């Protein structure tokens, strides 16, 4: 894991830097006349925790939607582990190892916590599994493995005691945790987290941060949108700043925090 990899300029359209697990090149998206994301470049170094910040309406969630192809970019490329993914459907991107969460967690309220986890595993095995293993015995074996894996992950995030409860009975913070736990069922290499601390009580925020650091130590990379600057400052190696849909700045958290352009963008938006 290279925590102190220096930023390297994006060189030419086809050169791929293998130190970057994810790279966005000139990504753009308009909604009618509104340029929500405009020519945005960004990279995430392998093994890093990278932050994405900016005032409300800066284009952060739209940018996540473009990275994960929940929205089709008007222009630009998304490169994950050296290969273009901007034309792949979201579930194929997840199978390659990049998974995301949402600002408002998308848990299935009327399924149990455990069932929510098992659904994520089905996405992971996808067509490959169903095509290759049509026999009931193999499916049963796979289900047993998934169940064990789900319980292990739930245990590690402190939700195991709720595994048979409806997901709808979880608190807002616990839903965020379940969404991250569900992402782990896909054995990701990179997780995109959209505001993991929003609406979460301080004790649970600390717990979520500790989990993120623990998973990161074991090799998982993160890209995190977050308004809570304490979270960004304590977790991130590098921070990218968007304002009005464009790149404003990037650097280590301290550089970004004291950058006059960044301060102005935030103060100007209040």
Ligand X SMILES: Nc1ncnc2c1ncn2[C@@H]1O[C@H](COP(=O)(O)OP(=O)(O)OP(=O)(O)O)[C@@H](O)[C@H]1O
Of 31 and 130, which CB lies nearer to ligand X in the complex structure? 31
CB of 60 to ligand X, least distance (A): 4
Q: Does 130 bind ligand X (CB under 6 A)?
A: no
Binding part of the chain for ligand X, among 56-64, 166-174, 202-210, 246-254 by CB under 6 A, reads 56-64
The answer to whether the beta carbons of residues 44 and 20 sit under 8 Å apart is yes
Of 32 and 135, nearer to ligand X (C-beta) is 32
Q: How many helices (H) and strands (E) does the chain have?
A: 9, 10
Q: C-beta of 196: minimal distance to ligand X in Å? A: 13
36: contact with ligand X by CB under 6 A:
yes
Map residues 185-214 to x or -, x wherever contact with ligand X holds by CB under 6 A: ------------------------------
Q: What is the DSSP string of 195-209?
A: -TTTT--HHHHHHHH
Q: How far is the CB of 197 from ligand X (least distance, A)?
A: 13
Q: Residue 50 CB, nearest distance to ligand X (Å)?
A: 16
50, 3 contact by CB (below 8 A): no
**Choice between 175 and 189, CB closer to ligand X:** 175
Residue 66 to residue 241: CA distance in whole angstroms? 16
With beta carbons less than 8 A apart as the criterion, state whether 192 and 134 touch: no
Instruction: Map 114-168 to HEC letters.
Output: HHHHHHHHHHHHHHHHHHHCCCHHHHHHHHHHHHHHHHHHHHHCCCHHHCCCEHH
Q: How far is CA 7 from the centre of its chain?
A: 20
State the chain's maximal CA–CA distance in angstroms.
62
- The alpha carbons of the chain give a radius of gyration, in whole angstroms, of 19
Q: Does 228 bind ligand X (CB under 6 A)?
A: no
40 is a contact residue toward ligand X (CB under 6 A): no
Tell whether residue 57 is a contact of ligand X (CB under 6 A): yes
Contact indicator for 47, 3 with CB cutoff of 8 Å: yes
Q: How many residues bind ligand X (CB under 6 A)?
A: 11
25 contacts ligand X (rule: CB under 6 A): no
* Residue 57 beta carbon to ligand X: minimum distance, rounded to whole angstroms: 4
Under the binding rule (CB under 6 A), the answer on residue 58 touching ligand X is yes
Nearer to ligand X, 185 or 248 (CB): 248
How many Å apart are CA 154 and CA 159, to the nearest integer?
5
The three state secondary structure string of 154-179 is HHHCCCHHHCCCEHHHCCHHHHHHHH
Compute the distance between CA of residue 251 and CA of residue 254 in angstroms, rounded to an integer: 8
Q: Which stretch binds ligand X (CB under 6 A): 28-36, 130-138, 206-214, 249-257?
A: 28-36
Backbone torsions φ then ψ of 43, nearest 5 degrees = -140, 155
269 is a site residue for ligand X (CB under 6 A): no
If the CB atoms of residues 43 and 60 are measured against ligand X, the closer one turns out to be: 60
31 counts as binding ligand X under rule CB under 6 A: yes
CB of 49 or CB of 265, closer to ligand X? 265
Residues that bind ligand X (CB under 6 A): 31, 34, 36, 54, 56-62
């Amino acid at each position: 894991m290279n925590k102190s990899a220096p930023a390297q300029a994006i060189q030419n359209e086809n050169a791929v830097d293998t130190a970057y697990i994810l790279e966005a090149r000139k990504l753009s998206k308009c909604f009618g006349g509104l340029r929500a994301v405009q020519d945005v470049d960004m990279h995430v170094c392998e093994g890093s925790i990278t932050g994405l910040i900016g005032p409300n309406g800066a284009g952060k969630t739209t940018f996540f939607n473009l990275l994960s192809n929940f929205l089709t970019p008007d222009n630009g490329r998304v490169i994950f582990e050296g290969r273009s993914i901007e034309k792949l459907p979201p579930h194929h991107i997840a199978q390659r190892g990049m998974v995301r969460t949402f600002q408002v967690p998308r848990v299935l309220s009327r399924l149990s916590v455990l069932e929510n986890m098992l659904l994520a595993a089905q996405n992971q095995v996808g067509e490959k599994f169903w095509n290759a293993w049509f026999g009931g015995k193999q499916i049963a074996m796979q289900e047993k493995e998934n169940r064990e894996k789900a319980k292990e992950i739930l245990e590690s995030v402190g939700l195991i005691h709720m595994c048979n409860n409806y997901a709808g009975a979880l608190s807002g913070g616990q839903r965020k945790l379940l969404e991250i736990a569900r992402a782990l069922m896909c054995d990701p290499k990179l997780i995109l987290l959209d505001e993991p601390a929003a609406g979460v009580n301080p004790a649970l925020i600390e717990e979520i941060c500790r989990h993120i650091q623990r998973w990161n130590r074991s090799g998982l990379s993160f890209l995190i949108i977050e308004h809570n600057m304490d979270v960004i400052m304590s977790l991130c190696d590098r921070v990218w700043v968007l304002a009005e849909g464009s790149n404003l700045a990037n650097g280590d958290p301290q550089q970004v925090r004291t950058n006059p352009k960044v301060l102005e963008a935030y103060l100007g938006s209040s």
